[in-house]
Amino acid sequence: MNYSRRLWGVVALLVLFAVGAPLLEQPVFLFAAAGLLAWVLAHGYQFVAAARWLEGELVVEQTPTTPAFVDEARPFTVRVSLPRPVDLRLRVEPRVPVAGDPTIEPVELAPGETAAELTGTLTWRVAGEYRLEPASVRVADRWGLFSATFRAGETPTARIDPPRPRDTYIAEGGASLLSTLGRQQTVLRGNGFDLGEVREYVPGDAITRIDWKATARLDDLHVREFESETAVVTTMILDARAGLHAGPPGATKFDYLRQVALALVGESRNSGEPIGLYVLDDEGVSGLPARATGEQYERLRRRLYAIETVEGAGSDSTRLHRRSRQRTRRAARSLEGDETAFARRLRPFLADDASASVESDRLYRLLRSGRARTTLAGGGTVLTVVLTDDANRAALRESVRLAQRRDGHVVVFLTPSALFDADADDAADARATYGRLREFDTFRRELSGMAGVSAFEVGPGSRLERVLREAEARRQRVEARP
């Protein structure tokens, strides 16, 4: 229990009465001191009893909106309730971990009130799981003589996920499948590779009914009218190497691919189908074989969010890799027709550059090793989903061929490096970016042309629209010239 200055003032007055009574020969002052002392003691006893009762009966509910994303302000509600009114003032202040930034005033309960509620916002600055501490409760009597502080309330856990891109698009040949990818929206459903009638996709058809094999073969979206469905086991291979961390924080290549992977996990959870994940980074490969359990889906979600984006990485390595391949091709072309001893000696090294790049690529080596291979004891379909970028096209092409020969059905989600380089937002370089995007789409179509393979473009819709808008404006200016 704490004593206020007002109480010490009352005590000083009491002492003054007690000392002044004999000095002034006024017994009434002595009676006043005794009465005042009795009132203070009785009031203090009542306060202690009421405060102890409050500590056991006060209900404090702290409700942060979760799951939430880093730097995203979400509602945060604090409710206070009592089984009966008391003659005390309460002030309840939530205690949020350092990673949280609340904008909510303390909840106050006036004497005689039994409930109060206040809603503010809570913004988390760091991803992770946090447990809120019990709220700090300050109790004071009506006269402001005594006060006490204690902790009360629930300690909920808040799950905070890393920043997510907000303008994700997924497209095949310029036809957008999803304009915006939500937290767990459907992207792909694996059912229906075998039986049923196939027809062309029309607006309003569920994305879950797209037949990816027929789509890849016919170069247009097709859906299947199911007569029967077969079990589908999905194995995702997610590229998290340094090159995939190009782009602004929260909107890197990897962030966009992670959103697709999370959507696939959510769809597998909804359909009850097995799904596994292999994460490929610069240190090696870590994997969770395909299963269809609630624990598996949650483990995959936590694993995806646990992968940290390496800030500032990726752009330089991707650009250097592209420039290295361009210089190699230019050097090889310069030696065409040159039959000198030097040219004959150097030509095999330049010719072997692509094969050497393929053999050393971690994705290709993973698929060749068979570590990520899924075998089915009964009937069903194995679907391999590769999520990566187009930095090493030769290696990716061979990796997809390996997966296609092994499992028969492959879906590739690709982020175009052209949209993530530092110069992608520069209007002056829009022409070069547009040219690189056309090269990317040619490569994507090449992958989709393989039997049983579908390849989709994943990236920032706003940036793509800006590049296309600049290209269209440039075309109109050229046509307008006399």
223-281 pLDDT per residue, tens = 765 443 456 788 999 999 988 888 888 888 999 999 899 888 988 888 888 899 999 88
pLDDT value at residue 385: 92
pLDDT value at residue 143: 80
Percent of the chain whose predicted confidence (pLDDT) is above 90: 18
Judged against a pLDDT cut of 60, whether residue 347 lies above it is answered with no
Q: Please, are residues 296 and 382 in contact by the beta-carbon 8 Å criterion?
A: no
Dihedral angle sign, alpha carbons of residues 443, 447, 450, 454: negative
Instruction: State if pTM tops 0.75.
Output: no
18-27, 29-38, 321-330, 374-383: which range is least confident on average? 321-330
Burial group, residue 38, by CB count within 10 angstroms (0-12, 13-18, 19+) = exposed
pLDDT value at residue 191: 35
Judged against a pLDDT cut of 60, whether residue 412 lies above it is answered with yes
Query: Which two tokens mark 270?
Result: 């909804």
If one counts every other C-beta atom within 10 angstroms of the C-beta of residue 49, the result is 10
Q: Please, are residues 363 and 399 in contact by the beta-carbon 8 Å criterion?
A: yes
Judged against a pLDDT cut of 70, whether residue 422 lies above it is answered with no
177-196 pLDDT per residue, tens = 333 333 323 333 333 333 34
- The H or E element that residue 90 is part of is strand 88-95
Q: Please, are residues 426 and 402 in contact by the beta-carbon 8 Å criterion?
A: no
Q: Please, are residues 285 and 279 in contact by the beta-carbon 8 Å criterion?
A: yes
CA distance 230 to 290: 16
CA distance 228 to 79: 52
pLDDT (mean) for 142-156: 87
Angle ∠(49,50,51) on CA atoms, nearest 5: 90
Judged against a pLDDT cut of 90, whether residue 117 lies above it is answered with yes
pLDDT (mean) for 135-156: 88
Question: Closest Cα partner for 181 from 300, 271, 244, 265?
Answer: 265
Using alpha carbons only, how large is the chain's radius of gyration in Å? 34
Q: Which residue has the higher pLDDT, 53 or 329?
A: 53
Q: Which residue has the higher pLDDT, 442 or 165?
A: 442
51-60, 198-207, 438-447: which range is least confident on average? 198-207
CA distance 183 to 306: 16
CA distance 76 to 66: 10
CA distance 314 to 252: 9
Question: Closest Cα partner for 302 from 261, 272, 335, 241?
Answer: 261
pLDDT value at residue 150: 92
CA distances from 346 to 106, 334, 342, 353, 425 (A): 75, 11, 6, 11, 39
CATH architecture of the domain formed by 59-161: Sandwich (2.60)
pLDDT mean across residues, the chain: 76
Please report how many Cα atoms fall inside a 13 Å half-sphere around the Cα of residue 407, on the Cβ side.
29
pLDDT (mean) for 99-107: 89
